[in-house]
Structure 1
Amino acid sequence: MELTTGETFTGEAEVNVTAPGPWWQVTGGEVISGSNLISRIPQSCALSPSCTDSLILNDPISNRPATAIYNDNYDFSSTATRGTVSATNQWLVRAGTRPNIYSYAFFDNLSSGKNFNTLPPNTTVTTGVVNDPASVADGGYYWYRTSGNVTIGSPGGSNFININRKIILFVDGNLTIYDGPRLNNFPNDFFMVVVSGDIDVDPALVSPDTSTPAIQGIYTCDGTFSTGTNGVDDGILVVEGSVAASAFNLERDLVNENTDTPAEHFIYSPALISNYPSALAERHLIWREVAP
Structure 2
Amino acid sequence: MIELPESMVVSKQIRQCLVGKKIEKVILNASPHKFAFFSMDADRYPMLLEGKTVRNSGSFGGQIEVEIDDMQLYFSDGASPRYFAPKETLPLKHQMMIRFDDQSAITVTIAMYGMMYLYPKGENKNPYTIIAKEKPSPLNDAFTFDYFNELIASCPPTMSIKGMLATEQRIPGLGNGCLQDILFHAKLHPKRKHETLNETHFRQLYDAIKETLQNMVDRGGRATEKDLFGKEGGYVPTLYAKTVGTSCPACSATILKEPYLGGSITFCPRCQK
Q: TM-score, normalised by structure 1?
A: 0.27
Report the structure, 1 or 2, having the larger helix content.
2
Whichever structure has more strand as a proportion of its residues is 1
The structure whose Rg is larger is 1
Q: TM-score by structure 2 length?
A: 0.28
